[in-house]
Structure 1
């Protein structure tokens, strides 16, 4: 990773769909019901990562499918508002999908996803995309699970030039990704980011250092593993960190909504790499961005650079006064 030129653009083939968000007092029992409140609809999924990167100085572009209905229209409008370029034409095969997001009082969220056109390859193949030598490419496990899109992404990623930085987030559906698809993308991944639950499902290990090592052994030479661990921060292994790895702590905050926290972490981490920060400092900034994101309701709640810098300065001042 260190021999590559600084990143100049983040391109995502990770699907963007509409988030239908509800506050719920608890999850309903099977066959039951609960009364939700605070319902909102906004762009979600891959949108959150692109937004986090763009707000922190890294040019971002969306290379996935988007539909011709109200959800697709909403997604395009929010991409334009964030200054994110749309690379693929609108699909005439239907609308973009949506995800029901149920948020409990402690901020934990549970999802039900209904895929749309973003789950299928478009009329223009991925190979038609023009990638620069300083581009970063992001793909998610959601997309790798889709029967038509997953194989197309895996085949394309396997043939990308080494100069393109490939970042993979297997996400909550990590156990559902076909083994051959997972093996293909891991073999080309330069950065793998996943949370502790996902690492356990992927490796069978409870210890995060052991899980990170097992994952690292499946990646390309010199690749970096980012194991996100909620309020504990994240554990880094590989890349310019090496072994035995490094735990990077996170600021202590009161969580309101965990939706999009991992996405904020990913987008800000890549933006920090693009700005020249080493992995450890990029992770520190990403942890702080995720901490800020969980104090706010909604998916795309990553801070802008100025706000993030102010928060980090405040955290440093607090540490100084308590020494």
Structure 2
């Protein structure tokens, strides 16, 4: 997948900055704790975009961004990956940030401070005209913000019917307002989520049952449910496909889902069939867990070499 494809990924989500603090444990209410490590990095929607761009497709960020130090850091990261920035900065807001507390057991606790990325205007998307071979990505995080939700809900029904829409509801899937959720289910060509999110949306604990139930609600298309180290489930034309993961020595699970989603989209844009695209996504997610950090998706060469030498069951 090294040659530049004709289609592009239009990402309408939120590129923010992650402020990551490693702590021995969470402080009690009113207490304090000394962090043992601190880092700041671009995060949020950036991770999916970076994963896709590293597979050699054109990626454009269609979300809002601000003016200030966090916005500067997010834009620098986007440009370093060759990602185009479509909108002008908001003059009176900085880009938001996420405080991520990682305790000694690896559990992550988040606090999000929204910024300009949560203030998508009604006219910001008017100039976007997705072509038939483009993929439009919509994040559930965007749908939690009233301004973004209104802008996306007004814009999405009018885009080219041939353009592919991928909706990832995210961990707040059950909080998306019902009318908005139904609109997304009606237009999505691919509904991409993890096992927990599929359960939240269907009430079914068995991942196979949840995936089938979810796919029945996607009016136009299909569903992909990530099952962690086990790989993913793909439902297309009513058929359930179980695609196993790759056995690796994982050191950090953070960002594996984003690597999966970005690689899957890139593979579709490159013209791969969905089953092959999902296998590539499984491999990219596995590789991402072997490196510490959030945006650790492999580039096209590394992924190609991994697929050449490894089988999904990890036996080779």
Question: Is contact 1:106–1:255 with CA below 8 Å preserved after alignment?
Answer: no
Q: Over residues 31-89 of structure 1, what are the superposed CA-to-partner deviations in whole Å (9 max), with x where a residue is unaligned?
A: 55444333111111111111111100111000111110000011111111111000000
Question: Is contact 1:8–1:135 with CA below 8 Å preserved after alignment?
Answer: yes
Q: Over residues 275-308 of structure 1, what are the superposed CA-to-partner deviations in whole Å (9 max), with x where a residue is unaligned?
A: 2221111111111111111222222111001111
The residue number in structure 2 matching 1:39 is: 38
Distance 2:177 2:312 in 1: 47
Question: Is contact 1:107–1:256 with CA below 8 Å preserved after alignment?
Answer: no
Deviation at 1:170, TM superposition (A): 0.5
Q: In the alignment, which of 223, 226, 245 is matched to residue 224 of structure 2?
A: 226
Q: 1:297 to 1:152 in 2, by over 3 A?
A: same
The residue number in structure 2 matching 1:316 is: 311
After TM superposition, the structure 1 stretch with the greater mean CA deviation from structure 2, 9-18 or 95-104, is 95-104
Unaligned residue ranges in structure 2 (runs of 5+): none
Q: In the alignment, which of 295, 304, 308 is matched to residue 300 of structure 1?
A: 295
Distance 2:205 2:312 in 1: 35
1:194 is paired with a residue whose SS is strand
Question: Is contact 1:200–1:211 with CA below 8 Å preserved after alignment?
Answer: yes
1:128 is paired with a residue whose SS is coil
The residue number in structure 1 matching 2:265 is: 270
Matches within 5 A, 1:46-57: 46-57=45-56
After TM superposition, the structure 1 stretch with the greater mean CA deviation from structure 2, 65-74 or 149-158, is 149-158
Q: How many residues align?
A: 312
2:100 is paired with a residue whose SS is strand
Distance 1:194 1:89 in 2: 30
CA RMSD of aligned residues (A): 2.0
Matches within 5 A, 1:17-166: 17-105=16-104, 107-122=106-121, 124-166=123-165
Question: Is contact 1:88–1:124 with CA below 8 Å preserved after alignment?
Answer: no
Deviation at 1:143, TM superposition (A): 0.4
Deviation at 1:21, TM superposition (A): 1.5
After TM superposition, the structure 1 stretch with the greater mean CA deviation from structure 2, 128-137 or 138-147, is 128-137
Distance 1:249 1:129 in 2: 37
TM-score of the superposed pair, with normalisation by structure 1: 0.90
1:225 is paired with a residue whose SS is strand
Q: 1:32 to 1:129 in 2, by over 3 A?
A: same
Distance 1:277 1:110 in 2: 37
Q: 1:309 to 1:278 in 2, by over 3 A?
A: same
Unaligned residue ranges in structure 1 (runs of 5+): 1-5
Q: 1:254 to 1:220 in 2, by over 3 A?
A: same
Distance 1:258 1:28 in 2: 24
Q: 1:285 to 1:24 in 2, by over 3 A?
A: farther
Q: Over residues 98-142 of structure 1, what are the superposed CA-to-partner deviations in whole Å (9 max), with x where a residue is unaligned?
A: 011233455553322111010012374312213222110001110
TM-score of the superposed pair, with normalisation by structure 2: 0.92
Q: Over residues 7-49 of structure 1, what are the superposed CA-to-partner deviations in whole Å (9 max), with x where a residue is unaligned?
A: 6100101011001122334444555544433311111111111
The residue number in structure 2 matching 1:3 is: none
Deviation at 1:156, TM superposition (A): 1.3
